[in-house]
Structure 1
Amino acid sequence: MRPTPSINDFTEREDLLGFFGPDSVTWRVHSDPAFSVGGIRALLLQALHPVAMGGVHQFSTAFATDPWARLTRTAEYVATLSFGTRRDALRQVRRVRGLHRGKSGVEETTGRHFNVDDADLLLWVHNCEVESLLSTARRAGVPLTDADADRYVEEQVVAAVLVGCEEADVPRTVAELDAYFDRIRAQLAVTPAARTASRFVLVPPMPGWVQVLTPARPAWSTLASLGAATLPGWARRLYGLPGFGLTDAAATAGLRAFRQTALAVPARVRESPIVRAARERVAAVEPLSA
């Protein structure tokens, strides 16, 4: 498995700009309101790989006992990798790779012995994230050309390699990403672990006071419903999700309406602190020399 880069492998300016930078498609996709829906969609899609989900079920007790904490850590990881300095991103990468290291087990439904950091499992998680975030952004109305979409997939190879994927296996275009899912679909299934995970994602447990005194429940329900409704048709059929039989046109319309509503909120309120900090940080960096 490829080692993570050293903090001495880049200049101070490169560190401040991060692994992607303000001119990247990654910044455009990951700072858009549609990102939250894409993230939920990715979790539901990831759960359909029996072995990858088996690893989560066996080794991530937080998913069952405190799903909010796990979701928060996942979001923090993606945000730091996308918008943080390279040093901050590498700290997150090393933390995640450390959590994966040395964990192995046997997935009950397939009988496969696996290591949590097996390259094919890491690749599955990566590809689900990239495909979900990109397809959701495009359906939501984020202005992305076909060339932009290919560029996004190419940019995300960095994220895949950092977490431990084999670079030669990582898709670099939308066509390669689509081909990957065509190949792997026969291996996917809704295992008991996937069913449990999907329930946590769609209807996560919340303290009573949160449900009564905050808008968390209806807000999450909107995001989760859109995430499920925008899954590929074959994935929705595997889950047999009741209430999500919307046509693709209706799901897209709902997603676009959500995005437009969110965009009406001022950026200083809508955007996360790490995104705002990234914009301020790079604004202070002198333009790179030609």
Structure 2
Amino acid sequence: MPWARVRVRVAGSPRAGEDRRVTSPAPTTLRARLGAELFGRVAGPRGTQVRDRIHGTPGPRWFGPDDAIRRVHGDASMFVGGLTALLLQSWHPLAMAAVAAHSGYRGDPWGRLQRTSTFIATTTFGTAAHAEQVVATVQAIHDRVTGVTADGEPYAASDPHLLRWVHVTEAHAFLAAHQRYGAHPLDAAGCDAYVAQSARVGRALGATDLPDTAAGLRDALDAYVPELRGTPEAREAARFLLVHPPVPLPARLPYGVLAAAAVAGLP
């Protein structure tokens, strides 16, 4: 994992042109061990083979090597952004009901994370053919995820409005984590490019009316606020992710650092 430094944003608004991030060297052995542990957990037992297939298969791709989406999704700050996205997504009662009833995140949390990380890696770095295959697979799964909440509200994972919520929360969380903790933060134009490029994946999945600028992304998040609330399922998910995480005891401390950073990234 590309963690050369541990970066912490200093609280408060920086003066114009001032970099207020504090960097401190991380011990090489600890960094390597944590990186290997996280990669093994997120990528799964076949992670190396999957990574080689994604990056090594020749063919046209949705995104090029200099695109902003590759810089963001290839940075270790995605560990923080992923946790932020999961916490944020749980605030929508329909999205959380679908996750609680159909995803199996409690029984197989690492399996779900591995599938999600493979999807992101494939659409970002893989060939166009592979990207289209994983999109079709996810769409087929979404078509089967329907139900009714405890309050009697129907939901469907293929609902473009819910797909839009999932998309904007992920785009926000990934970009915010990268800008705060990433090795090479984007400038304003790069942030807009990231939002526009990530929208290509969201539209492929069926989301509609997606923003293509950072300002539009903030507006899209704000528009969902009246729909959000803390349901029992959302609180249970937060406890699962923050209080009783599915990680071995030696990894609890470094995971706690990631979790604290993820909470700090919530809007």
Which bracket does the TM-score occupy, shorter chain normalised?
Answer: 0.7 to 0.9
Map of 2:26 onto structure 1: none
Find the partner of 2:112 among 70, 91, 101: 70
Contact 2:91–2:228 (CA<8 Å) still a contact in 1?
yes
Map of 1:190 onto structure 2: 230
* Residue 123 of structure 2 is aligned to residue 81 of structure 1: yes
Contact 1:104–1:116 (CA<8 Å) still a contact in 2?
yes
Residue 124 of structure 2 aligns to a residue in which SS? helix
Map of 2:203 onto structure 1: 161
Q: How far apart are the structure 2 equivalents of 1:93 and 1:136?
A: 25
Contact 2:109–2:246 (CA<8 Å) still a contact in 1?
no
Residue 143 of structure 1 aligns to a residue in which SS? coil
Map of 1:269 onto structure 2: none
Deviation, 1:179, is: 0.9
- The list of structure 1 runs, each at least 4 consecutive aligned residues, that deviate by more than 3 angstroms after superposition, is 203-207
Deviation, 1:31, is: 0.9
* Residue 144 of structure 2 is aligned to residue 102 of structure 1: yes
Deviation, 1:49, is: 0.5
Q: How far apart are the structure 1 equivalents of 2:150 and 2:102?
A: 14
Find the partner of 1:178 among 204, 207, 218: 218
- For 1:163, the aligned partner's letter is L
Any gaps of 5 or more consecutive residues in structure 2?
Answer: 1-56
Deviations 1:239-269 (A, max 9, x none): xxxxxxxxxxxxxxxxxxxxxxxxxxxxxxx
Find the partner of 2:255 among 220, 224, 236: 220
Deviation, 1:17, is: 4.3
Deviations 1:204-225 (A, max 9, x none): 5547xx42xxx43222222112
- For 1:216, the aligned partner's letter is A
Contact 2:161–2:207 (CA<8 Å) still a contact in 1?
yes
Contact 1:67–1:204 (CA<8 Å) still a contact in 2?
no
Q: How far apart are the structure 2 equivalents of 1:135 and 1:217?
A: 24
Find the partner of 1:147 among 170, 189, 193: 189
Report the CA distance shift for 1:114/1:21 in structure 2 as closer, same or farther (over 3 A).
same
Deviation, 1:108, is: 2.0
Contact 1:203–1:221 (CA<8 Å) still a contact in 2?
no
Matched positions, count:
210
Find the partner of 2:93 among 50, 61, 66: 50
- For 1:230, the aligned partner's letter is G
Report the CA distance shift for 1:15/1:48 in structure 2 as closer, same or farther (over 3 A).
farther
- For 1:100, the aligned partner's letter is H
Higher helix fraction (1 or 2): 1
Deviation, 1:26, is: 0.5
Q: TM-score, normalised by structure 1?
A: 0.68
- For 2:102, the aligned partner's letter is F
Across the aligned residues of Structure 1 and Structure 2, the Cα RMSD in angstroms comes to: 1.8
Percent identity between the aligned chains?
40
Q: How far apart are the structure 1 equivalents of 2:252 and 2:147?
A: 35
Report the CA distance shift for 1:15/1:193 in structure 2 as closer, same or farther (over 3 A).
farther
